[in-house]
Amino acid sequence: MVETKSPADAAQYNDSTLKALSRAIAFSQGEFSLVIVRCNYQGLQQQMLQRLKALCQPQYPITEFIIPPSATTLYTTIQNYEHRELGRGQDKGIDRSGNRQSSTPIDPSLPHPPISSPPHSALLIVGLESVVSLEELLTSTNQVRDEFRKRLTFPLILWVNDQVLQKLMRLAPD
What was the pLDDT predicted at 148? Answer: 92
Alpha-carbon gap, residue 70 to 131, rounded angstroms: 6
Q: Is residue 114 part of a domain?
A: yes
Q: Looking at residues 43-61, what average pLDDT do you find?
A: 91
Residue 99 belongs to some domain of the structure = yes
Whether 17 maps to a domain, the answer reads: no
Percent of all residues in the chain with a pLDDT value above 90, rounded to a whole number: 56
Q: Residue 174: is its pLDDT beyond 90?
A: no
What's the structural domain count of the chain? 1
Domain annotation covers residue 76? yes
Domain assignment present for residue 73? The answer is yes
| Residue 46, domain extent | 27-171
- Domain-located, residue 81: yes
